[in-house]
Amino acid sequence: MDDNSNNFLLRVGVREVEAAFRPVGGFAPAIGCMDERVIRLSETDSRSPMVRLAGAGGLIGPDLASAVLEMTDVVRRLKLKYVAYHSDCGAGELMARVGGKHPSEGDDLAREFAESVAKTACVKTVRSPLDGPVGHHVALCHYYCGVPFAPHMVTELPTGFVTSRFVTDGEYGKRELVIAAGIALGEHGLGQFSTKSPYRIVVVATNGEELARLLVEARAAVTSLPARMRRRIAVEGFVAS
C-alpha cells in the first residue's frame, strides 16, 4: 500500500475544484449509488451532484429492512426528495447475495430498496442512467468524502467511486472502500493497476483533523485486504479549500 496523503491534487495537475464542492445550482436533493458510471440523476440531467452510497445505502444494515430504516432517517435528516437506483448495480448483486437470492435479481432488488426507502420517507424514486460500459467499471479511484463532493463536476479529476462518508459511520465507510476495491481490482474493473500505477483511495475532508481521521479509516480498510490487492492501492487526500 502506497501512502501519500498530501499531494493528490498536485499529482493530477488540478488546481481548481470549487465546482466539485460548490456546484452551480447546488447539490441535487437526492441520494444515489457510489458507482462511477452514475453521474446524472435522470435522463434529462447533464451532470448531477448528489449524496452517494453503494446502492443508495442498500448495504448499510445487517439486512434490507434495517437498511431501509437507516436510509429513511438519512433522507429525512438531509431533507432529500429523491432516492435513485440504476441498472447493472453491483451493490444490488451484493444485496441479493446477502438476502439469499440469485445475483441476477440484483437490479430488481436495488429498485425495490429505493422504492421502499422512498415510500417510508414520503419522497420519490428516480432511475438514473448508466453513463459507462455495462458489466464493467472504469473507476481509477475512490473518493471518500467527509464533505459533499462531486468529482464528476470537474472533468480533470480522475473517474472514481464516491462514498459520502459524512452521512454514515466509519465502520460502514470502510466496508464501502473494501467493496469498491474488490470491484476495481477484480474482473469487472480496469485491471491495469500496479505498484507504479495504483488504484487510489482519495480522502476529501473539511479540515486537517478530519483528514487525519479519515485517512486512518482508509488505511484500515486497505490493511484488511489481501496483500496482492494492498500493494496496488495508494491512499491520498486533501482538505476542501
Query: What are the distances in angstroms from CA 198 to CA 17, 54, 71?
Result: 22, 22, 32
Can you give the pLDDT at residue 192?
84
Provide the H-helix boundaries in the chain: 8-12, 18-21, 64-77, 90-98, 106-121, 170-184, 208-223, 227-230
Give the model's confidence band at 102: pLDDT under 50 very low, under 70 low, under 90 confident, else very high: very high
* Bigger pLDDT: 204 vs 61: 204
- Residue 234's DSSP bridge partners are 2, 200
Closest CA to 195 of 227, 219, 168, 223: 227
CB 86 within 8 A of CB 32: yes
Q: Contact 28/80 with Cβ under 8 angstroms?
A: no
Q: For residue 84, give the nearest of 113, 104, 63, 108 by alpha carbon.
A: 113
Grid cell digits, residue 17: 475544484
pLDDT of amino acid 186: 87
End-to-end CA distance of the chain: 27
43 against 24, higher pLDDT: 43
Average pLDDT, the chain: 92
pLDDT tens per residue, range 126-138: 999 999 999 999 9
Round to whole Å and give the CA distance between 129 and 120.
24
Q: What is the mean pLDDT of residues 80-101?
A: 93
Q: Where are the domains of the chain?
A: 2-18+133-239, 24-127
* C-alpha cell read off for 149: 463532493
Nearest to 72 by CA among 61, 148, 97: 61
Q: Are 50 and 150 in contact (CB under 8 A)?
A: yes
Q: In the prediction, which pLDDT does 3 show?
A: 54
* Alpha-carbon gap, residue 96 to 90, rounded angstroms: 10
For the full predicted model, state whether its pTM sits above 0.85. Answer: yes
At residue 221, the 3 state secondary structure works out as helix
pLDDT tier at 15 (50, 70, 90 boundaries)?
confident
Q: How confident is the model at residue 25 (pLDDT cuts 50, 70, 90)?
A: confident
pLDDT in tens, 34-60: 999 999 999 998 888 999 999 999 999
Q: CB–CB of 51/76 below 8 Å? A: no
